Amino acid sequence: MSATGAFAVTEYRDRTARAQAAMAEQGLAALLLTTEPDIRYFTGFLTRFWESPTRPWFLVVPATGKPVAVIPAIGAHLMAQGWLDDIRTWASPDYEDDGVSLLAEALADCVPAGGTLGVPQGRETHLRMPLASWAALQTALPDRHFGSDAYILRDLRMVKSPAEIARIETACAIAGRAFARLPEIARGGRPLDAVFRDFQRLCLDEGADWVPYLAGGAGPGGYGDVISPATDTPLAAGDVLMLDTGLVHAGYFCDFDRNLSVGPPTAEVARAHERLIEATRAGFDAARPGATASDVFRSMASVVGETGVGRLGHGLGMQLTEPPSLIPADDTVLTPGMVLTLEPGITLGPGRILVHEEDIVIRETGAAWLSPPADRMEVLET
């Protein structure tokens, strides 16, 4: 890994070549990208500075040759350490023209009059620039067509390279070690917010670069949802504690959880947890090259049945959640290199759910675990 966390240049060259082949098929003269993962995919540009929403960043992938970066000057030093040759900058924020003219020029260089540029605009995408700038850009280029990217980015990013999979695997291993240490910090009487804080410290201690995502819940015999912030309510005997982390290693996420019982679980909870493990294994078995995302959904849904909770898993990589979705409507065909979460859930009663999650990679021969699969419900001291 380079000092900046980028992969070998061949990786970016290959990605660009694959994108350009797909662009040729779709009749696209260029791609215009605006989000962190899409830009990093072709450049290796890795920084937590995206946390600041102030400045827009642009990458243009032309029909041939290397991508062109059109970025705020504050990013020039870091971008120049990567493989790109053409890095155009402006002093952002510029209230008169925040990169729009510079971007229009770069696009005019790449897209002939009458040509079409592709912008991701389908499911799970957004345009990371002000709508007013987007309108100004289209006005500045009246004889270029602004079309969709025809899901080229989704299709490319959905299949991970060995180097990407290795990073996700490392992230999973870090989280696995942190989860194994949960009894150090979680027991009856400890407030949930203290457990959340301490668990993030364990993740860092075990090697996480940072912990962008931590969710969870705790409650008697189950929790109300999986997205609420932690309260200061102390854990109590009979609670099920769930922690779900998306920690990052070298720019790649893991995303899996653990359910623990404070004191011995009730028979109902123990049975539900067993079914979740069983559902996860069914998903694992179904997740083979040639199967679809909906096949994997159905394999898990058949175990959790009518009590199932929504989407039962998703892609994983530079983002915590990526395509595909394990839902009935997703007919994405699984291929080697895809990384998925298996995330079956069960509703036990009003305000009482249990959700389990593991991470897998699709190999030629079937699925392989990336997270260390849980086989039983750990019991915490009361």
Instruction: Outline where DSSP puts E strands in 263-357.
Output: 313-315, 322-325, 339-342, 345-349, 352-355
Q: How far is the CB of 365 from a second copy (least distance, A)?
A: 29
Nearer to a second copy, 236 or 270 (CB): 236
Distances in whole angstroms, Cα of residue 86 to Cα of each of 14, 71, 92, 109, 375: 18, 11, 18, 12, 51
Q: How far is the CB of 45 from a second copy (least distance, A)?
A: 10
Whether residue 282 contacts residue 299, with contact meaning beta carbons closer than 8 Å, is answered with: yes
Longest dimension (CA), the chain: 70
CA–CA distance, 315 with 342 (Å, rounded to integer): 9
Residue 241 makes CB contacts below 8 A (sequence gap 6+) with 186, 192, 195, 216, 217, 218, 235, 259, 260, 261, 262, 380
Could you tell me the sign of the dihedral formed by the alpha carbons of 156, 174, 343, 222, in that order?
negative
Whether residue 246 contacts residue 213, with contact meaning beta carbons closer than 8 Å, is answered with: yes
Q: How far is the CB of 366 from a second copy (least distance, A)?
A: 26
Which two tokens mark 190? 């400890």
CA–CA distance, 219 with 239 (Å, rounded to integer): 5
Q: How far is the CB of 219 from a second copy (least distance, A)?
A: 11
CA–CA distance, 247 with 201 (Å, rounded to integer): 11
Residues paired with residue 308 on neighbouring β-strands, in sequence order: 346
Q: How far is the CB of 117 from a second copy (least distance, A)?
A: 13
Nearer to a second copy, 194 or 270 (CB): 194
Nearer to a second copy, 216 or 265 (CB): 216
Nearer to a second copy, 261 or 321 (CB): 321
Nearer to a second copy, 212 or 366 (CB): 212
> Which of 59, 54, 61, 14 shows the shortest CA–CA distance to 37?
59
Nearer to a second copy, 306 or 375 (CB): 306
CA–CA distance, 97 with 283 (Å, rounded to integer): 50
Half-sphere exposure of 6 (CA within 13 A, CB side): 22
Nearer to a second copy, 208 or 287 (CB): 208
Nearer to a second copy, 275 or 314 (CB): 314
Q: How far is the CB of 351 from a second copy (least distance, A)?
A: 7
Q: How far is the CB of 266 from a second copy (least distance, A)?
A: 22
Q: How far is the CB of 39 from a second copy (least distance, A)?
A: 13
